[in-house]
Structure 1
Amino acid sequence: MAKKRTSKSPSPPDHMMTRWKLTKLEILYRQSWLFGWQLNGPQPASPLPIFVDPWKGNPQNGALIAQGTLPFPLSSEPFARFNWIRDLRDYGGSRARMTARTLILRWLAEHKDWSPVAWRPDIIATRLTNLCLTYGWFGESADEDFQHQLKQMMAVQFRCLSLDWQRLTSPFDQLVALTGLVTGQVALNIPLQAVKGAKDINALLDLIIPKVKGQLNPDGGHKSRRPETHLDLLRLLLECRVAMAQIGLADRPGLEELILKMAAIAKMWRHASGDFAHFHFAGALPAAEIEQIISRCAVKGRVISIAEDTGFVRLSAARSLVIMDTGVSGPVSPVARTQADSGTPASVFAFEFSVSNHQFIVNSGQTSPEPRLNRALCQTAAHSCLTLDGLDNHRPLAGLPASVQSLDVTTADDGFLIEGLHDGYGKSHGIIHKRQLFLAKSGNSLRGKDTLSYTGAPGEIPTEAITRFHLHPLVSAAKIKQNQVLLKIHNQKTGWVFKCRGGEVFLDQSVYMDGTSRLSCQQIVIRTPAHHIQVNGTADISWAFNRHSPSAPRATR
């Protein structure tokens, strides 16, 4: 870092400092030459080691970067993480290698001084990890001057990371930072600064493992219930394991146990296509990226069917698969509560249904780049679920969270049954919702029943219950009778027939998020009058998806 400055750096906007805590005085100190002096120290004497990078890049992005088209500005946060190095590497060629070196040196020249974004601890950690894991491709054959500049920068930022990681406000960001310290310590072999109680990698792992356990439910699922957050944490643990293997450190039993439990939950969320079901902001990661992380875990055995603490059930029969959000009982976890401001999906008892490698019944998903649209897609109506009077079934910010009062998963001779009961409309209407899903062992029939029951508690008189089934964009639907719909999955010969009792069936338009792309699709809607529930006590809506078996043609003589 330079000791002389020609101009004073401007103070960072408040929104830049929400991820970590620094006073104005501490910011001014970091913008002074004294902080640069504090970060000075002995440089790594030996060459950087060559890691085995477990992750793949995107060669299409690499081709664009090699041709001079950056997917994001050099000064942006995504660029500062240095994930783009893998894109160039997997594109291949000497030109890509030279481009990587040029961009690294250019970034170093423009960010040699402290700044609140590029030098944020979790970004430093990600950058150091990516540089270490990809160094064998871009750096080993570079000239000594490049290697010296790179090691000097990495050593300075490693010391800054060891000083500042505890200032991060998010426990997950702290784990990102600690993982970067593990990888950086293996690569640079220089002393840590101000990491309380951590003098070596084993001590860092002693900090990491309890923090990871604090992020997880007893069954191994992340407390946020977000599949992609869960997978990001699993990736961090695998990067720790790579760093440990680099120095011949045997697997830590506690670390290995966490990896296996988390991998089992991650597999539970996947359809046969390899994609995550659209629950709780999942759907942005491609199946190949999910697979490369799970495959590194070497988890064996059958996929688990029940994660009661995390709140999901998976039923599989023949080539049909149901994944259901069974909600959680008891108070919302602090981890999930901190994410409520960004929208908590109201998806209690929503489900997805796939046949073979084809998704059939889906949820809309919340992967749009538009925050307002994502908030709308968090509503119960954007899920394959039941709503009462157009209200969400889980409203924690309004003091009306849904609690699951009972959940049973049983196996019968002819199939598998989920029965769940939640009170998401208990305080507002005095009504509880019971959902039953039955998947036949043949995989040719999915039957359900939604029951609304009046508890006798005071509440609003309900008007209408609406049960929705959002169809994947590759599924077409046509109404054939009053309460019957014929369904066809693209590239499948056999169709399906939907039937229901207890309401009137309509077809309507819907939205499905395919990554960041917004696609049009259809939805089946059952409208059921609900004003009589407080008099009659209950209202039942029964429905079924059955594989269509046309009558065999008569033989000709």
Structure 2
Amino acid sequence: MGKGAGKGAGRASGGGGRFRSGLARIAYGNPLYSLILSGRAPAALAVVPPDPWPGDPSDGSAFLAGMLRMAGQSMAIDPNGEPPWRMPGASPVWLKALHGFDWMRDLRAVGGDMARRRARVLVWSWLEHNGGWNSQGWAPDTLGTRVANWIGLHDFYCASADDEFRARVFEHLGRQVRHLARVLPARLDGAPLIAAIKGLVYGGFCLPGLERAGQDGLRLLDRALPGQILPDGGHVERNPSAHLRVLRDLIDIRAVLRVARVEAPESLQPAIERMTPALRFFRHGDGGLALFNGGREEEPALVDTVLAQADVRGRTLRSAPHSGYERLIAARTLVLLDTGAPPSAGLDRMAHAGTLSMEMSVNKERLIVNCGSHPAQRGPWRLALAGSAAHSTVVVADTNSAEVLEAGGLGRRPAHVGCERQESGSAVLVVATHNGYSKGFSLLHRRRVYLADNGEDLRGEDTLEPVLGAQATDQPFAIRFHLHPTVQPILVQGGAQVILRLPSGNVWRLRATGVALELAESIYLGTGDEPRRTIQIVMHGHSGPDGVTVKWALRRERKAA
């Protein structure tokens, strides 16, 4: 879906990463360190935190049948064969999900003794094969997630178990929490740091004798939140799915502190209160989230649960200037625009080259989308779905507006992204620019989007203009509008217009001037593990020495076409 995706492996796989991994193996992977982690084993939980989060009974049933569906991979395991903890062919993201034990909620959703026994078998197997430090299972954010899950799901898999099982689980929970307290913040930032801190808080205040670790976790949280939660409530990674995860983790931390009757850091509740309206900001009419910077639709039921558990009232934001997003809404039409600079290095693991991309939905139906992201977040899928061509924006000379690194993160990127918003009644105009094409092409991209107050008239203008003082050259460009798989497009008027029919029967018409229109294949990975075929509208042309301006309009047809 475009060139300019970057060369070589990402920063995480460089020599520095291998050096640190080797040091960690020397420091933690030896018998002496195992003795250091020993201590008085808790006999029971001091408090049991609530766990209101839904699981997927379909995935749980598959799990019971020996098929583990996680992180974009389905892996079959033999209940009588080798354990899955270092499964050949499994991606690092799949293994991370396995070691994190989020899947236990899927088994809980199935219910019954068989699901409970399977959870116990896997917990015992993990203890047998991962009781000592290893880089995969003891990565701090994975460890924090596992500790929180083992404690939060205690009543499901552990409360009715035999004494030997319970004793061993609690002994190893203590060891894992002590390790976490020793290594954090462990060069982590963003959502992974919050996940690790959550485990420290769970262990510290739910396991007797580890309260100091819990207080360490609260101090780390208090230092992390001001930098992670922006003034408009958005998360610094600019990824709606990461935003959802962090908000959920903060709600869980608050719940633990409440049942343990521990005073929360001053930063915690204000962060939840700011993040909740910002989460609503990213929702389309179908209840799912917008697809920006590695985000996915997510399950509307989970989003509903997070919003309910947050227990925060407040109007949905119209503009998120610190996060770099704009929301245009009139009647039943919603448009979301990415008008911000990519997140900084270290926080850009899942970031996309989708600057000034746009999504549009009408009532509960998505119309214009970005292509989404693959759960694996690495390799060829990363290169394809993070590229500019996988977004509903302008692409110059088949080149990404930011350099996409295969192992995660961005290299070259726009140095400046600006945005202005004007409102008149219910009508909204947003004008945004970025200079991601200034290097190599001496071009600025300016996008103007206007939504009329009746919600039935969306007009846009995409301009490629020469950088001040520079001479632009003739370059091919494409304006891409990826369509949701449920939308049926038809070229009409000799290929000069496109009719777009939604499942409800509503019809919209796209017109554009100064470009050739065509329909091309595309894919959609907003949900699930397998890409769905769909169509994209491509408006293509050439920019000359003076640049080019393309005007387009989407209007709802009053009568069915």
Instruction: Give the TM-score normalised by the residue count of structure 1.
Output: 0.86
CA separation in 2, counterparts of 1:549 and 1:439? 17
Per-residue Cα deviation, 1:398-434 (whole angstroms, up to 9, x for no partner):
75625124x2212224621112233333343443332
Task: Specify the alignment match of 1:39 in structure 2.
Answer: 37
CA separation in 1, counterparts of 2:265 and 2:375? 39
The CA deviation at 1:264 is 1.9
The CA deviation at 1:144 is 2.3
> 5 Å matches for 1:161-240?
161-170=180-189, 172-191=191-210, 199=212, 201-240=214-253
Change (3 A) 1:48 1:104: farther
CA separation in 2, counterparts of 1:246 and 1:548? 55
The answer to whether structure 1 residue 498 and structure 2 residue 506 are counterparts is no
CA separation in 1, counterparts of 2:16 and 2:61? 34
CA separation in 2, counterparts of 1:77 and 1:63? 21
In the alignment, is the contact (CA less than 8 A) between 1:431 and 1:453 conserved in 2? Answer: yes
The CA deviation at 1:23 is 5.0
Pick which of 166-175 and 127-136 moved more.
Answer: 166-175
Task: Specify the alignment match of 2:270 in structure 1.
Answer: 257
Give the letter for the 1:206 counterpart. Answer: R
Q: Which runs of 5+ in 2 are unaligned?
A: 1-12, 70-74, 76-83, 87-94, 405-409
Pick which of 477-486 and 461-470 moved more.
Answer: 461-470
In the alignment, is the contact (CA less than 8 A) between 1:363 and 1:382 conserved in 2? Answer: yes
Change (3 A) 1:57 1:20: farther
In the alignment, is the contact (CA less than 8 A) between 1:20 and 1:169 conserved in 2? Answer: no
Give the letter for the 1:271 counterpart. Answer: H
The answer to whether structure 1 residue 454 and structure 2 residue 466 are counterparts is yes
Task: Pick from 277, 281, 288 the counterpart of residue 294 of structure 2.
Answer: 281
Per-residue Cα deviation, 1:276-309 (whole angstroms, up to 9, x for no partner):
2111111163333333223321232221011111
Change (3 A) 1:191 1:455: closer
> 5 Å matches for 1:298-377?
298-328=311-341, 336-338=344-346, 344-367=351-374, 369=376, 371-377=379-385
CA separation in 2, counterparts of 1:112 and 1:85? 19
Task: Specify the alignment match of 1:469 in structure 2.
Answer: 481
Task: Specify the alignment match of 1:543 in structure 2.
Answer: 552
> Matched residue of 2:184: which SS?
helix
Task: Specify the alignment match of 1:116 in structure 2.
Answer: 135
CA separation in 2, counterparts of 1:19 and 1:275? 38
In the alignment, is the contact (CA less than 8 A) between 2:229 and 2:271 conserved in 1? Answer: no
> Matched residue of 1:296: which SS?
helix
In the alignment, is the contact (CA less than 8 A) between 2:203 and 2:213 conserved in 1? Answer: no
CA separation in 2, counterparts of 1:480 and 1:360? 18
Instruction: Give the TM-score normalised by the residue count of structure 2.
Output: 0.85
> Matched residue of 1:303: which SS?
coil
CA separation in 2, counterparts of 1:21 and 1:448? 49
Query: Whose relative contact order is higher, 1 or 2, with alpha carbons under 8 Å and at least 6 apart?
Result: 2
CA separation in 2, counterparts of 1:415 and 1:182? 46
Give the letter for the 1:87 counterpart. Answer: D
CA separation in 1, counterparts of 2:22 and 2:385? 37
Task: Specify the alignment match of 1:4 in structure 2.
Answer: none
The CA deviation at 1:143 is 2.5
Change (3 A) 1:438 1:41: same
Task: Specify the alignment match of 2:178 in structure 1.
Answer: 159
Per-residue Cα deviation, 1:330-388 (whole angstroms, up to 9, x for no partner):
xx65xx32255x57422222100101111001111222646213212222222111223
CA separation in 1, counterparts of 2:202 and 2:150? 10
Number of equivalent positions: 521
The answer to whether structure 1 residue 98 and structure 2 residue 107 are counterparts is no
Task: Specify the alignment match of 2:432 in structure 1.
Answer: 420
In the alignment, is the contact (CA less than 8 A) between 2:330 and 2:454 conserved in 1? Answer: yes
Change (3 A) 1:460 1:409: closer
Change (3 A) 1:522 1:252: same
CA separation in 2, counterparts of 1:120 and 1:455? 45
In the alignment, is the contact (CA less than 8 A) between 1:436 and 1:450 conserved in 2? Answer: yes
Q: Mark the structure with the bigger radius of gyration.
A: 1
Give the letter for the 1:280 counterpart. Answer: N
CA separation in 1, counterparts of 2:146 and 2:305? 20
Task: Pick from 36, 59, 63 the counterpart of residue 61 of structure 1.
Answer: 59
The CA deviation at 1:134 is 0.8
In the alignment, is the contact (CA less than 8 A) between 2:203 and 2:210 conserved in 1? Answer: no
The answer to whether structure 1 residue 107 and structure 2 residue 107 are counterparts is no
In the alignment, is the contact (CA less than 8 A) between 1:388 and 1:462 conserved in 2? Answer: no
Give the letter for the 1:393 counterpart. Answer: S
Change (3 A) 1:339 1:214: closer
Q: Which runs of 5+ in 1 are unaligned?
A: 1-13, 193-198, 553-557
